[in-house]
Amino acid sequence: MIKFTILLTRKPSLTREEFVDHHRNRHAALFMSVPVVQQTVRRYVQQHAIDATLPGMPPTKYDGITELWFDDVDALARCFSDPVYLERIRPDEEAFLDLHACDFVVSTENPVA
Print the domain residue range for 70: 2-52+60-107
Number of domains comprising the chain: 1
Nearest to 51 by CA among 95, 21, 20, 27: 20
The helix/strand count (H/E) of the chain reads as: 5, 4
Q: What is the CATH number of the domain that holds 70?
A: 3.30.70.100
pTM: 0.92
What is the Cα–Cα distance from 65 to 39, expressed in whole angstroms?
Answer: 22
Query: pLDDT digits over 4-53, tens only?
Result: 999 999 999 999 999 999 999 999 999 999 999 999 999 999 999 998 88
Q: Distance (Å, rounded) from C-alpha 43 to C-alpha 102?
A: 20
Indicate if the pLDDT at residue 58 is higher than 90. Answer: no
Whether residue 65 is contained in a domain is answered as yes
Strands 2-8 and 64-70: antiparallel
Q: Let me know if residue 112 belongs to a domain.
A: no
